[in-house]
Structure 1
Amino acid sequence: MFTIDAHLDLSMNAMEWNRDLRLPVSDIRKRELGLTDKPDRAKGTVSLPELRKGNIGLVVATQIARYVAPDNNLPGWHSSQQAWAQTQAQLAWYKTMEELGEMTMIRNLEELERHIALWTNDTTETQKPVGYILSLEGADSLVSVSYLETAYRYGLRAVGPSHYGPGRYANGTDATGGLNAQGKALLKEMDRLGMILDATHLCDDAFKDAMDIFTGPVWASHNNCRTLVPHNRQFSDEQLKLLIDRGAVIGGALDAWMMVPNWVRGVSTPESMQCDLHKMIDHLDHICQLAGNSLHVGIGSDLDGAFGKEQSPHDLETIADLNKLPSLLKARGYSDEDVANVMHGNWLRFLRRAWG
């Protein structure tokens, strides 16, 4: 089934992990054997051939570069200007992939409809370009709010104001505190430009402020349920209901520590924690029960978001295995229409409404 994945850090993998994503995953893993600089070396799951193999023809692909203050121990850049430069290198990689026919940027409704027709109706082209909607994960790299219009002009269509920890515009996972003045101005500029707000990673205080201030389309590209895995990275039922009321779609993430409770990094394994694709469906189903329908869930896998097979469902070898989900959903009682909603329909409806 044609599939949309609403969160992949493709350019980060290319530029920081030094992965040639044009290659099969098996070749990328071979090249990384013996490397120890990253915990997921030789365990990656994502590449462009694997996306095509899984019929994953449209993704939301990120730029990501965090600013870290002197007292912040998280990895990141020491100035917003350096962070901006990193996002521009990531943009250059996407543009190079476009020049090679590997990818194509989707910026508006006309481009979206043409791309969906190519992937769902045209059987003549053997290597179709993977479509991508450009998203900024964490706004730290925007040197000032004025940079947002520059980014919109080169194709940026969605912004998550925060990532992990304290941010220049909003605080994120494991941090607290509402939006600062810059953050409020950022949301108003996003409204003016007609951009999508990605609520993922907003801390509870910033989430509340954002929902009060922002009037445009909101999604949560890769977020699971706090009821099932108690941690501030996940959304509470109250937050999920508010997103549902706003017409949001929430993408189920496949990072194991977000899928099962009591995960211990570096100790737990997907097998020992019985973390499989069924656990993702538990989270999706919880949201469907809150909504009373299947109209607000999708896939936002976050695969290879600084983790690999060591922290992915044990029944997933590569991202192509997302095509196992339709049969698993049907086994849980979901209809064909529900399954299509999850795999692509809800993201498409959201984009058509946002861009229409």
Structure 2
Amino acid sequence: MHTQPLIFDAHLDLSMNAMEWNRDLRLPLVEIRRREIGMSDLRDRTNGVVCLPEMRRGRIGLCVATQIARYSGRFSKLPGWQSPEQAWSQTQGQLAWYRSMEEAGQLVQLRSGTQVEAHAKLWREATLEQTAQLPIGYLLSLEGADSILSMRHLERVREDGLIAIGPVHYGPGIYGHGTDDEGPLTLKGQELVREMERLGFILDATHLCDESFWDALDRFHGPVWASHHNCRALANWNRQLGDDQIKALVERGAVIGMAFDAIMMVHGWKHLKSKPEDFQLKMEKICEHIDHICQIAGNANHVGIGTDLDGGYGKEQTPMDLDSIADLQTLQAPLAGRGYSVADIENIFSGNFLRFLRENLK
């Protein structure tokens, strides 16, 4: 195994960071942080851990990159846009950023399993010096579908290369119910997943509340994954997957991406109050979540990496030994120490998601 194996990150909010956090992700991490000194508009200022140079340094050569824009109605307490049309427009601005990064040679969009395999091969065979210059391959995903104004718009985003959709985010949405909410898919949500199946989308089960989760799995017969989801048995919050949900995803052939948000890693984290030091939280904790899924599955074929790093938080809410996304490489030792083979580690780092895409992204 290469001393730094290839990593596939199944969930990064790159365009949100660029467009809403106003970060030039081409810059070195130290420069991004320096430019935010004295800024107080967002709680994670100066604490970001993701940029394109650090992704290259950590051999994170492929990722699922999101568009995200939630609609929040008149009486909603959640942040979001005041109309679905505004949410649609925001996602189109995010798409424009991805296109500009392609033109700059920083990113390359991947639309098929064949393209994914070819780009993974390019990165695997490249030296560390060569990867410093390679474009990062990205697959486009939509986190929360409030911005999809109609099924005609769904066809349009498929043509733009969108490959996966999570129907909801936090709270109630147009298409169903998400984290900290209750209820099945709405009638529009039932139509959405039916059309997603027809158009060949991947269903991202992340953020679906329990009732919407089971409803979606019953109605959608295409490929399913959970891009950034940890285990409820180890972090007791409805945002995480229960053991019955993990088993159902495994039976569907899904891959579950491990998230590195501290609130998703431990019991008892108090939002906006807790600190990683309160739990002596280290990256090795994620190995417990990996183990938990592997024990349910009976193998290491259904777990991957979906960090959600800089997804509205930074170092103030990550393990103490994670200063940069490149530090994902340090997971090799604790995984090996738990008995995972070289092949297992390669599958967790990238192989499982790559296999899933090879089999399901035509």
Pick the TM interval, shorter chain.
Answer: over 0.9
Alpha-carbon deviations, 1:307-356, whole Å to 9, x = none? 00000011111000000011110011111111111001100110011025
Worse overlay, 84-93 or 125-134: 125-134
Alpha-carbon deviations, 1:202-229, whole Å to 9, x = none? 0111001101000100000000111111
Query: Is the aligned partner of 1:221 residue 2:227?
Result: yes
List alignment gaps of at least 5 residues for structure 2: none
Is the contact between residue 101 and residue 129 of structure 1 (CA under 8 Å) also seen in structure 2? yes
Query: Is the aligned partner of 1:104 residue 2:108?
Result: yes
Match of 2:19 in 1: 15
Q: Residue type of the partner of 2:23?
A: R
Counterparts of 2:157 and 2:176, CA distance in 1:
19
- Does the residue aligned with 1:277 lie in a helix, a strand or coil? coil
Q: After TM superposition, list the pairs within 5 Å mapping 1:323-334 onto structure 2.
A: 323-334=329-340
Of 70, 77, 80, which aligns to 1:73?
77
Is the contact between residue 140 and residue 169 of structure 1 (CA under 8 Å) also seen in structure 2? yes
- Return the offset for 1:185: 0.6
List alignment gaps of at least 5 residues for structure 1: none
Query: Is the aligned partner of 1:42 residue 2:46?
Result: yes
Query: Is the aligned partner of 1:253 residue 2:223?
Result: no
Alpha-carbon deviations, 1:264-285, whole Å to 9, x = none? 1222111221211111111111
- Does the residue aligned with 1:265 lie in a helix, a strand or coil? coil
Match of 1:137 in 2: 143
Counterparts of 2:114 and 2:340, CA distance in 1:
31
Counterparts of 2:114 and 2:353, CA distance in 1:
16
Is the contact between residue 59 and residue 131 of structure 2 (CA under 8 Å) also seen in structure 1? no
Query: Is the aligned partner of 1:310 residue 2:330?
Result: no
Query: Is the aligned partner of 1:95 residue 2:111?
Result: no
Of 59, 63, 76, which aligns to 2:63?
59
Counterparts of 1:125 and 1:308, CA distance in 2:
25
Worse overlay, 311-320 or 111-120: 111-120
Of 297, 304, 308, which aligns to 1:298?
304
Of 264, 271, 286, which aligns to 1:265?
271
Alpha-carbon deviations, 1:220-262, whole Å to 9, x = none? 0000111111111001000110000000000010000110111
Match of 1:282 in 2: 288
**Distance change (3 Å), C-alpha of 1:35 and 1:210:** same
Counterparts of 1:64 and 1:155, CA distance in 2:
15
Counterparts of 2:195 and 2:343, CA distance in 1:
37
Q: Residue type of the partner of 2:183?
A: G
Counterparts of 1:74 and 1:33, CA distance in 2:
27
Counterparts of 2:116 and 2:250, CA distance in 1:
24
**Distance change (3 Å), C-alpha of 1:40 and 1:151:** same
Is the contact between residue 145 and residue 182 of structure 1 (CA under 8 Å) also seen in structure 2? no
Alpha-carbon deviations, 1:140-198, whole Å to 9, x = none? 00011221110000110000000000000011000101011110111011101111000
Counterparts of 1:118 and 1:337, CA distance in 2:
19
> Structure 1 length normalisation: TM-score?
0.98
Counterparts of 1:125 and 1:10, CA distance in 2:
19
Aligned length: 356
Q: Residue type of the partner of 1:267?
A: K
- Does the residue aligned with 2:65 lie in a helix, a strand or coil? strand
Of 145, 151, 155, which aligns to 2:161?
155
- Return the offset for 1:122: 3.8
Worse overlay, 239-248 or 271-280: 271-280
Q: Residue type of the partner of 1:100?
A: A
> Structure 2 length normalisation: TM-score?
0.97
After TM superposition, which residue ranges in structure 1, 4 or more long, deviate above 2 angstroms? 122-126
Is the contact between residue 22 and residue 49 of structure 1 (CA under 8 Å) also seen in structure 2? yes
